[in-house]
Structure 1
């Protein structure tokens, strides 16, 4: 069974789905959507089979499929999974059907094809799985770069009013990071020729010779990889593409950005930098941890000052990625396992929150926080989902984020106590901004988006909202954002609660947030052996407990 090409199918099936869906330009929209959903569910089913057949603790990669690609350079098309890549691929396989379901009634810009939109989402799924499954560094780079293409079009063709700016910024940042990575990939290949006849970029082979690469050489190679991964992660100060891309992208693709795409960066540190460049990773760990802790505070403080709901969620992601990066470079298997679980937990919690925000703003036709209030009174299920996402985001005990955050801080404290204490303050900041945003939007007096005019004209009936037209008096910020709508009572329009479809797509995320929070053992069983091996590969060992300190 271990020879069955499950991993290869995980890459191939959504790619085939993208080709089929994209070719159905003249088919009815419902048929196109159903076909795309069928391919994503097939990918999910393969992912379940892959998880069931995976053997925790077995050395090396499992379900490996390899074919010669560029024989003259010793490059292979090789994909497989270990514990870390398995959980990330499972997250992708889960999120994409949910995103497709959430995008079922997505309002696309005029002239845009629903078939092309769903095809781009499936192509992005294939490429993201490819990044996490690649066992050849050059193949990893190819998938890493190809992800740019579908995401650029998802933002630039289907996004909000500032989509062109956001897509271009995302493309340029990612392209720059990709060029830095390419230089490092070439450098790694050249160095490998001193140890392997003809050179190689096979991950297992490079891991075997990593300790023989001079530290000075590792530092230069590390720099290129680190810049590329810091941009994707995103770490401060390489983060500025994320708020624009997340805010302007359609809700579905935005969910994949904050739920999966940005985790390619922290995964790259785990997969490439620590095991293949151990000396440089140890030498520069202080720099990454410093940027991570700065990101925790910066992301939290800036999130608290946001006026745009979607930008608010993206800035909370920047803060959370500080914890993930800190856990990776704490060189403790406990912190590293926590960082991997944090990637999954963040994908679930932030994915849930981003989808709920999308459902809210599609009803209110505004992303401005000030345009909402008392939503819980008229849409209690939506408000409840927002509350669950908020509590998971602040790592409430019993949620998946709590397990992850606890492990990261506990492991980091054993190696970097000062940074762990500083990061703990960030938890307080997170609680403040999440509870503040919940109070502003979900509780208090009911109000519609952008009520203007006299109190009599602008009165909003409890549970009833009317749609009016904008004016010059609607405020400069709303004009700049281009998404303000005025609600009045003369034209009655009920702010509806979540429908059956919306509840169905959110429920799996809620269940997993709770299940992992209460019983994380299945995740830890597959992650812990890989974390322990990475610690060994990076030339470190877990700190032994102090017997004297316990007396």
Structure 2
């Protein structure tokens, strides 16, 4: 009952909100906040009790209404439910983005939560696909209708259009792979497919199915070179959309690879692991290099996401249970870190009017030190600093790739590990660059050309070196420091980053036994 209620509550809340006409009202606030809080509480109950529901759905096709939680999905369920509460609290503490009614905005957030939770809980491959697609339309609405009102309408249309076209292409490839898998195995039950572990399928067919699934899900992750839809979507999306996109939707892609590829067609994945590892490490380097020269803060975080997902891909390519644990931990780590960064940058962009690093502004240490401190924590986590949560996912990914499973190309993977460490150096470089420009406010003296006299774009200030005003020091451009509910949201995420960095066993202990069983084909749920 708790699991069923957890899935129904956000869906019913979304329907109620979308049905309410007009702008934001106290009723809408209570519906959105109450629904997400109750859903989060139910998520804790469901995860703690490892709940499961299994009932016939479409009998003629053998499809069942089968949802359940295990060690592979437990942390993702909690991440989704708790972050949705944070997104709603953060949105209600400020201004609902222009472009539509507040009820529609909040309803779309709840629909995204519904689809994401159903995806992480689905135990039937067809049900998984349906849940996966539920998030497409509400996320498109968030980007298209509630996107940055400082950019032209055609840019919002282009970004949302790319999002739809790429994800629909990925969904089509994923569906074809699922249908081939279900047809040849005679079942769509993910537990049974994991138990079969590719038994009865030829190596060539396994490789073909794995290829279709990896390509379709790789677009969702996204892996290089099918990542080009992500930076425009993040740049245009409202803060709520960026947080959900980075912290939840991208995780659906990597989770799908674990459930549909690692568990069901292991030989096909082994054959394609060199390709997956190479794409992962190219993404690490490509994302890092792009971040070194990127001028928009939101696009920079988007490119850093491509790099972080590259480590997850490299971990999966290793074929070991350590690699699988690294991928699962890296998923959660990136979700928390990206959420923190997008919350902070969203607040800054809302007050600055843009997130352009070329605009010379006063340093956050002088105008809003609390926002600056949590931004530094997020940047430190993004570069993989030991003691913070991202370190463990990236370190274990490199460790697993250095000592891969016996059926993986060890020499190639070790080359990828060396290149991956270069990516860590790039992450340190771009994180320190952003810290210097935003925390210290030294953009006017930047040696890399991020800003200079007369080149401020979209802001009110000019270079301090030229003697002009610096944005953030005058009344109109002053940044109000984090306070109230918004401060509580970012502070909580910063604490989680530190706690999980010091105690990674809180996550590894949950996923460890089930990750080992999934790798060996023992299934997960009884």
User: Is TM-score (shorter-chain normalized) higher than 0.5?
Assistant: yes
**Which residue number in structure 2 is paired with residue 547 of structure 1?**
none
Residue 358 of structure 2 aligns to a residue whose secondary structure is: helix
1:104 to 59, 84, 92: 92
- Which whole-Å deviations, capped at 9, do the CAs of 1:146-204 have from their partners, x for residues lacking one? 22111111111111232111111000001111111121122122212xxxxxx321112
- Tell me the TM-score normalized by structure 2: 0.90
Residue 441 of structure 2 aligns to a residue whose secondary structure is: coil
Q: Is 1:503 the equivalent of 2:496?
A: no
Q: Is 1:133 the equivalent of 2:121?
A: yes
C-alpha contact (below 8 Å) 1:373/1:446 kept by paired residues: no
- Tell me the TM-score normalized by structure 1: 0.86
Structure 1 residues 458, 10: CA separation in 2 closer, same or farther (over 3 Å shift)?
A: farther
> How far apart are the structure 2 equivalents of 1:495 and 1:208?
55
C-alpha contact (below 8 Å) 1:378/1:496 kept by paired residues: yes
Residue 165 of structure 2 aligns to a residue whose secondary structure is: helix
Residue 53 of structure 2 aligns to a residue whose secondary structure is: strand
> How far apart are the structure 2 equivalents of 1:335 and 1:345?
15
Unaligned runs of 5+ in 2: 405-412, 445-455
**Which residue number in structure 2 is paired with residue 527 of structure 1?**
511
Q: How does 1:32-43 map to 2 (within 5 A)?
A: 32-43=28-39
Residue 272 of structure 1 aligns to a residue whose secondary structure is: helix
1:517 to 478, 492, 501: 501
**Which residue number in structure 2 is paired with residue 473 of structure 1?**
none
**Which residue number in structure 2 is paired with residue 52 of structure 1?**
48
1:31 to 21, 24, 27: 27
Q: CA deviation at 1:45?
A: 0.6
- Which whole-Å deviations, capped at 9, do the CAs of 1:426-475 have from their partners, x for residues lacking one? 111100001101101220359896346898998327963255xxxxxxxx
**Which residue number in structure 2 is paired with residue 180 of structure 1?**
173
Q: Is 1:163 the equivalent of 2:156?
A: yes
Q: Which moved more, 1:233-242 or 1:502-511?
A: 502-511
C-alpha contact (below 8 Å) 2:285/2:423 kept by paired residues: yes
- Which whole-Å deviations, capped at 9, do the CAs of 1:311-345 have from their partners, x for residues lacking one? 00000000000001111121121121111111111
C-alpha contact (below 8 Å) 1:211/1:278 kept by paired residues: no
Residue 68 of structure 2 aligns to a residue whose secondary structure is: strand
Q: How does 1:347-426 map to 2 (within 5 A)?
A: 347-371=335-359, 372-415=361-404, 416-426=413-423
Unaligned runs of 5+ in 1: 55-62, 193-198, 468-492, 540-551
1:430 to 408, 427, 448: 427
Residue 116 of structure 1 aligns to a residue whose secondary structure is: helix
Q: CA deviation at 1:225?
A: 1.0
Q: How does 1:71-470 map to 2 (within 5 A)?
A: 71-108=59-96, 110=98, 112-160=100-148, 161=151, 162-192=155-185, 199-209=186-196, 210-371=198-359, 372-415=361-404, 416-445=413-442, 450-451=459-460, 459-460=468-469, 464-467=473-476
Residue 502 of structure 1 aligns to a residue whose secondary structure is: helix
> How far apart are the structure 2 equivalents of 1:411 and 1:454?
47
Q: CA deviation at 1:289?
A: 0.6
Residue 68 of structure 1 aligns to a residue whose secondary structure is: strand
**Total equivalences in the alignment:** 496
Q: Which moved more, 1:447-456 or 1:248-257?
A: 447-456
> How far apart are the structure 1 equivalents of 2:522 and 2:280?
20
